[in-house]
Amino acid sequence: MARILGIDYGRKRTGIAVTDPLQIVANGLTTVPTHTLLDFIKKYIEQEQVEAIVIGKPTQLNGEPSESMRYIDPFIKRLQNELPQMPVILFDERFTSTLAHQAMIDGGMKKKDRQDKARVDAIAASIILNDYLQSKSQR
């Protein structure tokens, strides 16, 4: 099996998570400036086998796409143009930043470390990807 990449897309920086090769669990990988995201993904795919890319879909409480989709859609189009064989999956990301903060608190992380937005983004990406894995296993 190959890995799955998870992305918590942001206008300035993007959190990235990855599964283990057996796709059992996802862990935060890194955070990159968003303008370098496509290059990072292409380089990562050269080094590791990747089966799919899961991108967090920002959704409002009523289920409608949030305003942030206007930034994500053009990125997805570029990604699909650059990597046409790579499946790109949008997956609901509601509350992932809140869950990431709570996970940091529950893990005993100091307040100063919890204020590191890059760390929050990588944890949010891992939550998106773990939620995707869980939904996939329930099908």
Tens-of-pLDDT digits for all 139 residues of the chain?
899 999 999 999 999 999 999 999 999 999 999 999 999 999 999 999 999 999 998 877 777 777 888 999 999 999 999 999 999 999 987 656 565 556 656 666 666 665 556 677 888 898 899 989 988 877 6
- Here the tokens at position 126 are 């891992």
- Here the tokens at position 62 are 């009523």
Say if strands 50-57 and 26-33 run parallel, antiparallel, or are unpaired.
unpaired
Q: Which residues contact 42 (CB under 8 A, 6 or more apart)?
A: 82, 83
> Which amino acid, one-letter code, is at 105?
I
User: What pLDDT shows up at residue 73?
Assistant: 94
Residue extents of the structural domains in the chain: 3-138
User: What pLDDT shows up at residue 104?
Assistant: 56
User: What pLDDT shows up at residue 101?
Assistant: 53
User: What pLDDT shows up at residue 66?
Assistant: 74
User: What pLDDT shows up at residue 19?
Assistant: 97
pTM: 0.84
Sign of the CA dihedral with 5 first, then 8, 60, and 66 last: negative
36: left (phi > 0), else alpha (psi -120 to 50), else beta? alpha
Domain spanning 3-138, CATH class: alpha beta
